[in-house]
Amino acid sequence: MSIETAERQDTAPAAPEQPMLEVKDLVVRYGRGRKAAAAPAAVDGVSFSIRPGETVGLVGESGSGKSTIGKAILGLQTSAGGIIRFQGKDITHAGAAERRALGGELRAVFQDPNSSLNPRQSIGASLAEPLRLRGVTAAVARQKAEAMLERVGLPREAVDRYPSQFSGGQRQRIAVARALICEPKLVVCDEAVSALDLSTQAQVLNLLADLRDEHGLSYLFIAHDISVVQFLAQRVVVLYRGQVMESGPAAAVTESPVHPFTQALVAASPVPRAAEQAERRMLRESLGVRTAAAVTASQAGCPFSQRCPLATELCTAERPALRRVGAADVACHYA
């Protein structure tokens, strides 16, 4: 090898880091056969990626397709189009055996912790179950369960108790422990803190952040409250009726939103101080965004056009492509 060749190799740019998760042009429709084909897409051409150790927040109103995307990633909902790649591997239509093999690396925390905790099983048995399915002995599984409970702020002796003996916030901590006990690479958090009171919500969010930093976890954090997403996420994707309205760094999207829908979403986010809440209410009213109940979405153009104060005939006729505006990508003809 010549000196010149060696120098060129030394100065060559490093290969880009492979995303932990890549969602490309995802389409999801509910129903079967002709009924599904004729129905509007619940998720319509959504794309985003998550890097190792990164948290991406998925935020939007009820019915925006947030949870549907999470279910498609977890294999709980069939995709009608697009690609889902996990660590570079296409898992869009992965079968049951492949999903079981992924079970230790791709985990979930749902809004209701009771959905992942059997009321008739002790906490230790619930936590040990995914480990036992992977051949871990009962003694080792119990040790790992005790250590994980301690890590999420609960006593080791909680392994012998039952879900009914814990508060809602404690059960959510147990659900987090169950999701992380197999040392996953990616955790889908679907409204994981929305049912908790504010103080417990803050505790669980801090716990998730600490565990992410300690173990290099990646999160897809799904929520309807953009202020909650802002706390945990490095990047934010804003959805409306199954389409991406705005995406980019969390600070840019949540503090200086460009899309009219994101602006309305930020203005509608509750804050604890009465004076600031009044200012936000005045801002929301000044934006001129119509309520969702008063309009029908455009099928051909921008789904937000009937509510948007900037909309013209172009908006109802042509779907806007994502384009860079400042630090964010925005799907709007006029933003």
pTM of the model: 0.86
CA distances in angstroms from 112 to 2, 196, 238, 271, listed in the order given = 62, 10, 23, 24
Per-residue tens of pLDDT for the chain, all 335 residues: 444 444 444 444 555 678 999 999 999 998 777 777 777 889 999 999 999 999 999 999 988 999 999 999 999 999 999 999 999 999 999 998 898 888 889 999 988 887 778 889 999 999 998 888 888 899 999 999 999 999 888 999 999 999 999 988 899 999 999 999 988 999 999 998 887 888 888 888 988 999 899 889 999 999 988 888 988 999 999 999 999 999 999 999 999 999 999 988 888 776 666 666 666 666 666 665 666 655 566 678 999 988 888 889 999 999 999 999 999 999 999 98
| 241 within a domain of the structure (yes/no) | yes
Query: 142-147 — which CB contacts under 8 Å span 24+ positions?
Result: 144/181, 145/177, 145/181
- CA 246 to chain CA centroid, Å, is 15
| 310 within a domain of the structure (yes/no) | yes
b/e 67-93 (16+ beta carbons within 10 angstroms → b): bbbbbbbbbebebbebebbbbeeebbe
- Give the model's pLDDT for residue 294: 52
- Give the model's pLDDT for residue 165: 93
- CA 64 to chain CA centroid, Å, is 13
Give 74's contacts (C-beta < 8 A, 6+ positions apart).
106, 108, 188
Give 173's contacts (C-beta < 8 A, 6+ positions apart).
152, 153, 154, 204, 207
* Calpha distance 19→85 (Å, rounded): 9
Looking at the structure of the chain, the number of domains it has is: 1
Alpha helices in 52-194 (DSSP H): 66-74, 96-102, 123-132, 138-151, 168-180
- The residues facing 186 across adjacent strands are 106, 218
| 162 within a domain of the structure (yes/no) | no
User: Helix axis angle, 138-151 relative to 123-132, nearest 10°?
Assistant: 120
- Give the model's pLDDT for residue 292: 65
CA distances in angstroms from 207 to 118, 152, 291, 330, listed in the order given = 23, 7, 36, 32
| HEC per residue, 274-312 | HHHHHHHHHHHHHHCCCCHHHCCCCCCCCCCCCCCCCCC
Q: Tokens 């801002």 sit at which residue?
A: 283
Q: Tokens 């994502």 sit at which residue?
A: 322
Identity at 30, one-letter amino acid code: Y
Q: Closest Cα to residue 243, out of 66, 92, 82, 93? A: 66
| 267 within a domain of the structure (yes/no) | yes
Sheet holding 43-50, edge to edge: 43-50, 21-28, 81-86, 89-90
Alpha helices in the chain (DSSP H): 3-10, 33-38, 66-74, 96-102, 123-132, 138-151, 168-180, 198-215, 226-232, 250-255, 260-268, 274-287, 313-317
- Angle at 25 (CA atoms; ends 238, 42), nearest 5 degrees: 60
Cβ atoms 108, 70 nearer than 8 A: yes
Query: What is the extent of the structural domain holding 66?
Result: 21-105+184-330
- Give the model's pLDDT for residue 285: 61
Which of helix, strand or coil describes residue 220?
strand
- Give the model's pLDDT for residue 274: 60
| 150 within a domain of the structure (yes/no) | no
| 45 within a domain of the structure (yes/no) | yes
Q: In this structure, what CATH number is given to the domain that contains residue 97?
A: 3.40.50.300
| 119 within a domain of the structure (yes/no) | no
Identity at 183, one-letter amino acid code: E
- Give the model's pLDDT for residue 111: 86
| 281 within a domain of the structure (yes/no) | yes
Quote the tokens at residue 268: 């509608």
Q: How many other C-beta atoms lie within 10 A of the C-beta of residue 9? A: 9
* Calpha distance 96→76 (Å, rounded): 11
